[in-house]
Amino acid sequence: MFTSKQIHIVGIVVIAAAALAACAVQSPAGKPPALGTAVSAEEVARWDISIPPSGAGLPKGSGSARQGLKVYEEKCQYCHGVKGAGKPADALAGGIGSLATAKPVRTVGSYWPYATTLFDYTRRAMPITNPLSLTDDEVYAVTAYVLFLNGIVGEDTQMNAQSLPLVKMPNRDGFISDWPVRPR
């Protein structure tokens, strides 16, 4: 047991140690420095361009294949070919039903599982030399055009925040998630 005098001495030592610690090297275990800056929902919305299969975050606007043809011819055809035939860049249409054959042809129509991905990628990365330049209406329209080329939507079907997530792609069920890792 400590006597009251000993406790007093211990107290002084503790205070002295605390004073020293203020200028000594410390290891504050489990205490990250917390240097992030709070950000408003409005600011986050300006940054957030990813569209998951649910369609959450899809912007206002709409477009049909008929409207998209003009956008495609002006801004996409140079790389993706007439009617999405491909070359020099990837083919966008055709190949549906070919995946299990000796010559699989993978395109948006035959391979991509979600139409939302087409909108997301076109908006974030295309045209390759001028990304983020298309209006939301143009992205909807050219998305509709590529889906139309694959026989997935009609020529006048409007693609928008409500209709796009409802599009069922031919290869929707063609993927097996390997996460969590399956035993091999």
Partner 1 sequence: MRNKKERHDKPDTKPDNAAAGSRRRFLKQGAALVTGAAAAGLAQRVAAQGLAGQPWERVYGAAFTRYGQPSRFEQPVMRHIRLRYGDLAPGSGVALAPIESLEGIITPSSLHNIRSHSGTPDIDPKQHQLLLHGLVARPLTFSMESLWRYPMTTRTVFLECSGNSGSALAPEPMQVPAGVIHGNIACSEWTGVPLRMLLEEAGLQPQAKWLLAEGADSAHMSRSIPIEKALDDAMIALFQNGERLRPEQGYPVRLLLPGWEGNTSVKWLRRLKATEGPTHTKDETSKYTDPLPDGRALQFTFEMGVKSVITRPSSTMTLPRPGFYEISGIAWSGAGRIRRVEVSADGGATWVDAALTGQERAKCLVRFRLPWEWTGQAAVLQSRATDEKGQVQPVRKAWLAQYSPAMSYHNNSIVSWAVGADGSVKNVYV
Only segment of 5-13, 16-24, 158-166, 169-177 that touches partner 1 (CB under 8 A): 169-177
Q: How many residues bind partner 1 (CB under 8 A)?
A: 51
Considering beta carbons, is residue 66 or 77 the nearer one to partner 1? 77
Question: What would the two tokens of residue 66 be?
Answer: 């008929």
Q: Which of 67, 116, 150, 160 binds partner 1 (CB under 8 A)?
A: 116
Alpha carbon distance 146, 167 (integer Å): 13
182/165 Cα distance (integer angstroms): 29
What are the φ and ψ backbone dihedral angles of 12, each rounded to 5 degrees? -60, -45
Assign residue 38 a region (left: φ > 0; alpha: ψ between -120 and 50; beta: otherwise).
Answer: beta
Q: Check: CB of residue 107 under 8 Å from CB of residue 95.
A: yes
Other CB atoms closer than 10 Å to residue 103's CB: what's the count? 6
CA distances from 170 to 31, 102, 147, 152 (A): 50, 19, 11, 8
Contacts of 163 (CB under 8 A, 6+ apart): 62, 157
Q: Which stretch in 1-9, 47-55, 68-76, 139-147 sits in contact with partner 1 by CB under 8 A?
A: 47-55
Among 12, 74, 125, 168, binds partner 1 (CB under 8 A): 125
Q: Pick the stretch among 3-11, 16-24, 123-131, 134-142 that binds partner 1 (CB under 8 A).
A: 123-131
Nearer CB in complex with partner 1: 53/66: 53
Show contacts with partner 1 in window 23-42 (CB under 8 A): 32-39, 41
Selected from 48, 73, 155, 156, the binder of partner 1 by CB under 8 A is 48
Closest to partner 1 by CB, 4 or 130: 130
What residues make contact with partner 1 under the rule CB under 8 A? 32-39, 41, 43-44, 47-53, 79, 88-90, 99-104, 106, 108, 111-114, 116-117, 120-121, 124-125, 128-129, 131, 174-181
